[in-house]
């Protein structure tokens, strides 16, 4: 059995070791500083004697290095060989900082959430996610506060340390974040590895970490979601990704402030003012459109059909939902018809039928009859129905409706 020394000595990037076993392109070393994928932190990248390490996993208690399977088999090491391992510095540095950043974020959540619990995390090249449980879902204000507090902890250059405890002793530590399912890499031989950010967070963890929060750099919260009941997933960027994200947001905010003729600080007030103005104008436009449609329906010519008076015609720049209220209102006027039949003009004519309850005309039956002749579909009740997808010119359909 060989465990990775990466969590204990995360700064090591190059080492020599003896090959303990080889199975095809899977190599086990007597000692390794490659991190095996565990608990949400991905496997290290790098090389063994120049051969690319494509994956690192733990199998039967040993760290297994999966080498490039397309390489020349003659180049593969054999048991007893001494090999040089080189851990990809850029990727390890990113993962190490990102992993500590997740602990920093959890420490921030300790200060903003009630009933807090830890449900896992994951590192990807673009972002990091932390799954939290809490009494109440995190809202926008809580998300902003998480980011503010996390970056404050980074700026304060808090020391980070790790130590192994007996499991029961670790469980007894004050405020420790301890989730057996998500921290399998921290457990072993009746002991557990505990990572402490001085004065900020304590958690069972088997990953690699920086020794101080300062190298983490900026943390930018990207989004939140709810993957399960009672769980809030917080996604954030760290390092260059966080810098780029923050710059993008800053640029967008400046553009928005310029468009709103506002300063950045006054942008929320300006947006609220513009939203109120848009709502007022939208309401006025709806009223104006309603008045215009009512006027158009009032001008529709009427015909007598089977003892009922029908107002029949076409309208442009409207949809079926726009017509329900003015058509019903037309029926209720003093000289209102018994039936209002409106055909929408355009490439896809539609039909709206409105009738009074006293009229011996079923609106749904009229639409059904029209769709039997001209295709399409529709439906509705006795006093209001509509149809669409009709293969007919609007004027032709209106003429059909005027037939005695």
Q: Per the structure block, which two tokens stand in for 144?
A: 């902003």
* CATH topology classification for 93-259: 3.30.980
Q: pLDDT for 1-34, tens place per residue?
A: 678 999 999 999 999 999 999 988 899 999 999 9
What ranges do the domains of the chain cover?
14-87, 93-259, 293-402
Q: How far apart are CA 312 and CA 303, in angstroms?
A: 8
Choice between 86 and 362, residue whose per-residue pLDDT is larger: 86
> What is the Cα gyration radius of the chain?
35
pLDDT band for 194, please (50, 70, 90 cuts). very high
- Asked if 69 and 83 count as a contact pair (C-beta separation under 8 A), the reply is no
CATH of domain 293-402: 3.10.310.40
CA dihedral 68, 70, 71, 77 (to 10 degrees): 60
Cα 53 to Cα 40: distance, rounded to the nearest angstrom? 19
**Cα three-residue angle 177-181-182, rounded to 5 degrees:** 60
Give tens-digit pLDDT for 95-128: 999 999 999 999 999 999 988 888 889 999 999 9
pLDDT, tens digit, for every residue of 254-271? 988 888 888 988 888 888
In the predicted structure, residue 180 carries a pLDDT above the cut 60: no
Provide the pairing of β-strand 62-67 with 117-123. Answer: unpaired
Provide the pLDDT for residue 181. Answer: 53
Residues 6+ apart with CB under 8 A from 372: none
**pLDDT tens-place string over residues 282-339:** 988 888 887 888 888 888 888 888 788 888 888 888 888 888 888 888 888 888 888 8
Give dist(CA 54, CA 39) in Å, integer.
19
Q: Is 136 helix (H, G, I), strand (E, B) or coil?
A: coil
Fold held by 14-87? Elongation Factor Tu (Ef-tu); domain 3 (2.40.30)
* pLDDT band at residue 72 under the 50/70/90 scheme: confident
What is the model's pLDDT at position 219?
A: 96
Torsion of CA 163, 205, 93, 221, to 10 degrees: -130
What is residue 1's predicted lDDT score, i.e. its pLDDT? 64
Overall average pLDDT of the 350-361 stretch: 85
Query: pTM for this one?
Result: 0.72
**Tens digits of per-residue pLDDT, 205-255?**
999 999 999 999 999 999 999 888 889 999 999 988 888 888 898 898 898
């Amino acid at each position: 059995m060989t465990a990775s020394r990466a969590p204990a000595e995360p700064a090591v990037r190059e080492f020599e070791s003896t090959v303990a076993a080889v199975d095809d392109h899977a190599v086990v070393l007597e000692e390794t500083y490659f991190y095996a994928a565990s608990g949400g932190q991905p496997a290290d990248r790098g090389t063994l004697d120049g051969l690319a390490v494509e994956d690192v996993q733990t199998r039967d208690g040993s760290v297994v290095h999966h080498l490039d399977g397309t390489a020349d088999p003659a180049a593969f090491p054999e048991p007893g060989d001494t090999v040089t391992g080189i851990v990809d510095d850029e990727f390890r540095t990113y993962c190490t900082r990102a992993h500590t950043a997740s602990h920093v974020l959890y420490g921030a959540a300790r200060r903003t959430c009630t009933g807090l619990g830890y449900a896992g995390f994951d590192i990807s090249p673009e972002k990091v996610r932390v799954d939290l449980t809490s009494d109440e879902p995190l809202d926008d204000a809580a998300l902003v506060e998480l980011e503010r507090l996390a970056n404050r902890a980074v700026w304060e250059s808090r020391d980070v340390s790790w130590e192994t405890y007996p499991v029961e002793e670790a469980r007894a530590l004050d405020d420790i974040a301890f989730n057996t399912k998500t921290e399998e890499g921290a457990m072993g031989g009746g002991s557990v590895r505990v990572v402490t950010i001085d004065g900020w967070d304590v958690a069972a963890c088997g990953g690699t970490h920086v020794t101080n929060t300062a190298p983490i750099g900026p943390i930018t919260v990207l989004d939140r979601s709810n993957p399960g009941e009672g769980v809030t997933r917080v996604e954030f960027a760290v390092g260059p990704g966080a810098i780029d994200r923050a710059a993008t947001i800053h640029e967008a905010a400046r553009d928005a402030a310029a468009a709103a003729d506002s300063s950045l600080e006054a942008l929320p007030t300006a947006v609220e003012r513009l939203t109120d103005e848009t709502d007022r104008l939208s309401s006025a436009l709806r009223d104006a459109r309603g008045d215009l449609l009512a006027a158009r329906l009032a001008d529709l010519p009427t015909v007598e059909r089977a003892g009922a008076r029908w107002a029949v015609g076409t309208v442009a720049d409207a949809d079926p939902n726009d017509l329900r209220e003015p058509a019903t209102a037309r029926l209720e006027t003093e000289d209102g018809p018994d039936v209002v039949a409106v055909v929408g003009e355009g490439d896809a004519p539609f039909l709206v039928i409105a009738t009074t309850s006293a009229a011996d005309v079923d609106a749904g039956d009229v639409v059904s009859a029209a769709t039997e002749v001209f295709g399409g579909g529709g439906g509705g009740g006795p006093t209001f129905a509509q149809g669409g997808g009709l293969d007919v010119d609007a004027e032709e359909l209106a003429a059909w409706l005027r037939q005695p």
